[in-house]
Structure 1
Amino acid sequence: MSTTEELIGRADVNDVDAMEAIMAIAAEDGDANIRAVKDHADAIFTWDYEKGRRPALNKLYEKAKVSQWNGETDLPWETAVDPMDLVELQRAQFGVTPEMRKENTRGTPFEKWSDAQFDELALESNNWMLSQFMHGEQGALICTAKIVETVPWIDAKYYAATQVMDEARHVEVFARYLDTKLNGHYPLNAHLGLLLDDIIEDSRWDITYLGMQIMVEGLALAAFGFMHMTTPEPLLKQLLRYVMSDEARHVAFGVLTLKEYYEELTLAEVRERQEFAFEAAVRMRDRLMMQEVLHRLDVDVKGAVQFALNDPGRQIFQQMLFSKIVPNCKKLGLLDAGDGWLRQKFGELGVIQFEDLTDTSDEYESFALGEQELAPQA
């Protein structure tokens, strides 16, 4: 069993000094276009072709068949999007005034910033956030293709194949939005890249599920929901609506598959999964803090970290991102297995309050697109 320091490099998950070091690592704009990661898993064939042996997975597969949409024709790409207009709409929507900014940024690197500088920060932040969504979707594309190869059950292979198509579509629409409606995209965040590497490199098929379907996709589903609820931009709102309808199935796929598998594991094996989930959670919470934006705008890292940690809005948003992960981990039995180690760790992260929310395997159908949304385009 590993200590917290061995897992995440520090004994206290809220260590500000460690956060400063984390924030100092950022991807470079000139990073290579190709990234090679070793996949150490075996490709698994199964000769058991009995469809529906696992009814819940079969139901999910049948749902996926009739829920496909076309990113080229089903979204209103003719919608005009002015990135600066979007920033102004966001500012008005959240009621941000110059007086509020002055009060909230006193004693920080942003204290003497002009309105134009804050607008630039908001503009770059939008690009950065959507860029990481796009990169994460490609990570999901790679991971789901790996699941098709490595999972031993035919019902799971069938469903995973539909998710590969979904993820390709998601990468396509985020890339198009960034390149045609905003100002291009940011490179993959260095720490997100390390997490994706860990997920892909692990030889155990269930770790691919846990890392991608439960942790990364679970956080993405919550983030998409927040952005869908708050964005005033109609094209992005519809894009996110369509993506969320797929993502809910993806997370449910992870819950339904792993619940069965984890019931067969020893306590020591479950503890390894708990530790992996915690390490992934800390990485996603602390390390995806727009380092690349801060570096591009030449912002003092230490001051920015302190400001971010004390910002109530960011704290609420950060916690909300775990609203899908925590109940899903509970459904899998990971919260309380053994000595309740993961429950304690999620408590330290300040997110355990989400444990009793509905898990995604029970709510994914509520995200489904309606008949009108799936109607063929004229």
Structure 2
Amino acid sequence: MATTDSPDRDAEILGRDSVDDLEAILSVSNTEVDEAIHVVEDNADAIFTWDYEKGARPPLEKLYEKAKHSMWNGSTDLPWETEVDQEEFARRLMEMRVSMRADMGIDLSDTVFAKWGEKEWLELSIEGQNWSLSQFMHGEQGALLCTAKIVETVPWIDAKYYAATQVMDEARHVEVFARYLDTKLSGHYPINAHLKMLLDDIIADSRWDMTYLGMQVMVEGLALAAFGMAHQTTPCPLLKQLLRYVMSDEARHVAFGVLSLKEYYEGLTEPELLERQEFAFEAAVRMRDRFLQQEVWERMGVSPKDAYQVFNVSAEEKNKDPFQQLLFSKIVPNCKKLGLLDANDGWLRKRFDTLGVSQFESWVDTGEEYEMLDEVTKDREAAETA
């Protein structure tokens, strides 16, 4: 029988032969790409609480007040009249990635990409933009549903208050990403299969804290890091401002998860914590796998397996990819603050070691960081006093 520290156990959690089983990763596909509706059975109970006392959780109350003050309007607060030359922006990103490939020592000779010219690389950059923003949009809808579920299921009134503000935030995020895709870019992509599986698992779980862990800490934590990198690299001023607004919300969302779960997890047993560690590990691997962007390669007429073998020659090299690693820079310190990193003899720490991301454990956690990232509030307060 596999122990909880064995590679076999990790594979069992993910339902594949190994964490890095390429055939299993690439065999996962979205079979509902032509469907407009996707149904997931939600097994959770809706919980009323008759305890309306304020002051029981001051950090959540402070977060709630901050959220009310930081609301913005996606229709009027962004400069939608800004012209977006997607091809020009894609060209700049393409040149940046050419430089990155050279720095990483990736040799394209004798590969499927050897005959590619500027036309193909530019098209790949454009498709990559469409894919990335599409996945951001789908993930935000997942957050919309999950936060509505938290309003129903969390037993604390102060958490219900804050979660209700996040429902509005997520609706706004879906709106602005959809509008940017529709009016500024050149196409949509369906939801990535690995992201879809993860969202389904989060919604289907009956335990309210698993919704927090899966969405607020794992998915939103990775999204916050991804938005930050996109904000730094995009040459588009409209997208840069859009992402800055979204990031100010997302930092509060992750902080909400960390602040809520820290209290709850302090009362859990080791076996109960192990279940949460396994869930966090599975979520981390699924999010890692979604960035293989197999849908883009298929649209470009390239086998995803061939592309993976060119750009990720081995699991060891893959886990040295600085982009892949930085995506976990918010997740690891938050898991540490929740006590998940070292519970059960460091079960999750060992798994994060295999993913090459444990070095982020000492980075600031979002429970402390969100006020520094709340740029929208700071900008508004500066404008009001000017």
TM-score higher than 0.5: yes
Aligned to 1:79: 82
Aligned to 2:289: 286
Distance 1:296 1:91 in 2: 18
Cα deviation, 1:218-247, whole Å, max 9, x if unaligned, reads 000000000101111100000000000000
Q: Is structure 2 residue 349 aligned with structure 1 residue 332?
A: no
* Range 59-68 or range 181-190, more displaced: 181-190
**Offset at residue 314 of structure 1 (A):** 8.3
What code does the residue aligned with 1:359 have? D
The residue matched to 2:344 in structure 1 has which SS? coil
The residue matched to 1:123 in structure 2 has which SS? helix
Gaps (5+ residues) in structure 1? none
**Offset at residue 307 of structure 1 (A):** 1.9
Q: Cα distance 1:271–1:49, how it changes in 2: closer, same or farther (>3 A)?
A: same
Distance 1:194 1:228 in 2: 27
Cα deviation, 1:7-38, whole Å, max 9, x if unaligned, reads 1234643x3xx223322433368420111110
* Range 295-304 or range 128-137, more displaced: 295-304
Q: Is structure 2 residue 147 aligned with structure 1 residue 144?
A: yes
Q: Cα distance 1:98–1:41, how it changes in 2: closer, same or farther (>3 A)?
A: closer
Distance 1:313 1:131 in 2: 25
Aligned to 2:130: 127
* Range 146-155 or range 99-108, more displaced: 99-108
Q: Is structure 2 residue 56 aligned with structure 1 residue 53?
A: yes
Asked which structure has the greater RCO (Cα within 8 Å, sep 6+), the reply is 1
Distance 1:96 1:323 in 2: 23
1:86-105 paired onto structure 2 within 5 Å: 86-93=89-96, 96=99, 104-105=107-108
Cα deviation, 1:308-360, whole Å, max 9, x if unaligned, reads 31477981111000000000000000000121100100001110000000000
Aligned residues: 373
Aligned to 2:277: 274
Out of 340, 353, 358, the position equivalent to 2:364 is 358
Cα deviation, 1:26-52, whole Å, max 9, x if unaligned, reads 336842011111000000000000122
Distance 2:211 2:112 in 1: 40
What code does the residue aligned with 1:84 have? E
Is the Cα contact below 8 Å between 2:320 and 2:356 reproduced in 1?
no
Distance 1:95 1:107 in 2: 17
**Offset at residue 164 of structure 1 (A):** 0.2
Cα deviation, 1:198-222, whole Å, max 9, x if unaligned, reads 0000000000000000000000000
Q: Cα distance 1:37–1:98, how it changes in 2: closer, same or farther (>3 A)?
A: closer
**Offset at residue 114 of structure 1 (A):** 1.7
Out of 368, 372, 375, the position equivalent to 2:379 is 372
What code does the residue aligned with 2:242 have? L
Aligned to 2:35: 32
Cα deviation, 1:179-202, whole Å, max 9, x if unaligned, reads 100013100111111100000000
Q: Cα distance 1:53–1:145, how it changes in 2: closer, same or farther (>3 A)?
A: same
Is the Cα contact below 8 Å between 1:200 and 1:208 reproduced in 2?
yes
Identical-pair percentage: 65
Q: Cα distance 1:313–1:180, how it changes in 2: closer, same or farther (>3 A)?
A: farther
Distance 1:93 1:105 in 2: 16
1:1-378 paired onto structure 2 within 5 Å: 3-10=9-16, 12-13=18-19, 15=20, 18-27=21-30, 30-93=33-96, 96=99, 104-310=107-313, 315-368=321-374, 369-373=376-380
* Range 134-143 or range 338-347, more displaced: 338-347
**Offset at residue 116 of structure 1 (A):** 0.5
**Offset at residue 77 of structure 1 (A):** 0.4
**Offset at residue 305 of structure 1 (A):** 1.3
The residue matched to 1:317 in structure 2 has which SS? helix
**Offset at residue 278 of structure 1 (A):** 0.3
Distance 2:264 2:299 in 1: 45
Distance 1:365 1:256 in 2: 14
The residue matched to 1:229 in structure 2 has which SS? helix
Is the Cα contact below 8 Å between 2:319 and 2:325 reproduced in 1?
no
**Offset at residue 373 of structure 1 (A):** 4.3
* Range 167-176 or range 92-101, more displaced: 92-101
Cα deviation, 1:228-285, whole Å, max 9, x if unaligned, reads 0111110000000000000000000000000000001110000000000001101111
Distance 1:99 1:269 in 2: 46
Is the Cα contact below 8 Å between 2:106 and 2:311 reproduced in 1?
no
Distance 1:27 1:172 in 2: 23
**Offset at residue 56 of structure 1 (A):** 0.5
What code does the residue aligned with 1:107 have? D
Gaps (5+ residues) in structure 2? none
Distance 1:321 1:236 in 2: 19
